[in-house]
């Protein structure tokens, strides 16, 4: 038996003993304090945000089953890149590029974690259910550590519904996120996408997108710098749902809204004119 396996077994034993010691004392403390906060919130404080971020990165790396710049690292370098340009890259190009990124680790935590990651890049959805099961625990840990972060639930819902075809699990995770973040426009938007793309229910998708729009407007009124990127995503979803339902007048109205902040207003205007020509008798 290797020393690494023995050390891992010892670590599990220590964790189990610590849990049996902490759990009854935590229950007693919670009753006395009358606080619903989780143990992670009390013990870790604000540092749980950092740990939640590490859990999200771990989930992303498990998905790709290798080390290379993750979606989070690429986002730091490509903040100005338009969303549509990112999502239209082909998988073949991604694989060719990812193999070249065996860079130096950013810190001691990444250097240590590389001992547990393969160096060959594949996707978890190419390796079956066993590999997929590695991701969800990391996402749940991130949700436990930072339940007020909607992006945790959006990322989980996206992975589950688009990569693993686990639609019910994705919706359950997203609705957990709504309970933790009531009225979150980000989570409502992802739910709308799920109903349109995976459940083929444009009516429910439209209801959720409209609710996301109203919640975004409420948030925008409370800040000097509203999230325009999120607004454009919501409006795009509204256009798609209205189009699917054959509501051409409403779809054109949302396209006019989309054009206000679009980086390609000419293309949006062209689409508006196309809809008007194609459905002139329905307007």
- Which pLDDT does position 230 carry in this prediction? 96
- Which pLDDT does position 13 carry in this prediction? 80
- Which pLDDT does position 216 carry in this prediction? 98
- Which pLDDT does position 185 carry in this prediction? 98
Contact at 8 Å (CB) between 41 and 73?
no
Mean pLDDT of the chain: 73
Instruction: Report if residue 260 sits inside a domain.
Output: yes
Instruction: Report if residue 82 sits inside a domain.
Output: no
Half-sphere exposure (Cβ direction) of 56: Cα atoms closer than 13 Å: 25
Counting as low any pLDDT under 70, the low residues of the chain are 1-2, 4-5, 8, 15-16, 19, 22-135, 283
Instruction: Report if residue 5 sits inside a domain.
Output: no
Instruction: Report if residue 226 sits inside a domain.
Output: yes
Cα 274 from Cα 280, distance rounded (Å)? 10
Instruction: Report if residue 47 sits inside a domain.
Output: no
Query: CB under 8 Å to 132, separation ≥6 — which residues?
Result: 124, 125, 164
- Which pLDDT does position 103 carry in this prediction? 56
Domain count, the chain: 1
C-alpha dihedral (12, 16, 18, 23), degrees to nearest 10: 150
| Among candidate residues 182, 180, 242, 179, the one with its CA nearest the CA of residue 210 | 242
- Which pLDDT does position 80 carry in this prediction? 45
Instruction: Report if residue 258 sits inside a domain.
Output: yes
- Which pLDDT does position 234 carry in this prediction? 97
- Which pLDDT does position 78 carry in this prediction? 45
Contact at 8 Å (CB) between 174 and 153?
yes
Contact at 8 Å (CB) between 202 and 241?
yes
Annotate 21-49 with DSSP letters as a single string. HHHHHHHHHHHHHT----HHHHHHTTHHH
For residue 265, the enclosing domain spans 202-283
Instruction: Report if residue 214 sits inside a domain.
Output: yes
- Which pLDDT does position 273 carry in this prediction? 95
Q: How many angstroms separate the Cα of 258 from the Cα of each of 21, 135, 139, 140, 238? A: 56, 35, 32, 34, 10
- Which pLDDT does position 60 carry in this prediction? 56
- Which pLDDT does position 171 carry in this prediction? 97
Instruction: Report if residue 36 sits inside a domain.
Output: no
Strands (DSSP E) along the chain, which ranges? none
């Amino acid at each position: 038996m290797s020393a690494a396996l023995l050390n891992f077994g010892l670590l599990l034993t220590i964790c189990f003993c610590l849990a049996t010691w902490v759990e009854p004392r935590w229950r007693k403390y919670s009753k006395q304090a009358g606080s619903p906060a989780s143990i992670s919130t009390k013990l870790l404080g604000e540092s749980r945000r950092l740990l939640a971020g590490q859990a999200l990165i771990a989930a992303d790396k498990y998905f790709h089953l290798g080390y290379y710049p993750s979606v989070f690292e690429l986002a730091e370098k490509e903040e100005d890149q338009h969303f549509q340009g990112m999502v239209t890259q082909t998988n073949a190009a991604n694989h060719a590029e990812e193999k070249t990124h065996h860079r130096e680790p950013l810190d001691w935590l990444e250097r240590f974690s590389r001992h547990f990651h393969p160096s060959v890049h594949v996707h978890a959805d190419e390796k079956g259910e066993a590999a997929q099961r590695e991701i969800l625990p990391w996402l749940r840990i991130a949700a436990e550590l930072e339940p007020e972060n909607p992006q945790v639930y959006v990322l989980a819902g996206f992975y589950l519904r688009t990569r693993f075809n686990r639609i019910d699990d994705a919706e359950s995770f997203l609705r957990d996120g709504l309970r933790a973040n009531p009225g979150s426009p980000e989570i409502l938007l992802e739910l709308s996408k799920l109903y349109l793309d995976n459940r083929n229910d444009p009516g429910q998708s439209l209801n959720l997108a409209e609710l996301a729009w109203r919640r975004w407007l409420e948030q925008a009124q409370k800040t000097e710098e509203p999230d325009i990127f999120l607004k454009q995503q919501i409006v795009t979803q509204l256009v798609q749902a209205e189009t699917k339902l054959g509501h051409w007048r409403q779809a054109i109205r949302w396209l006019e809204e989309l054009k206000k902040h679009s980086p390609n207003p000419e293309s949006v205007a062209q689409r508006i004119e196309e809809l008007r020509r194609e459905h002139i008798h329905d307007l």
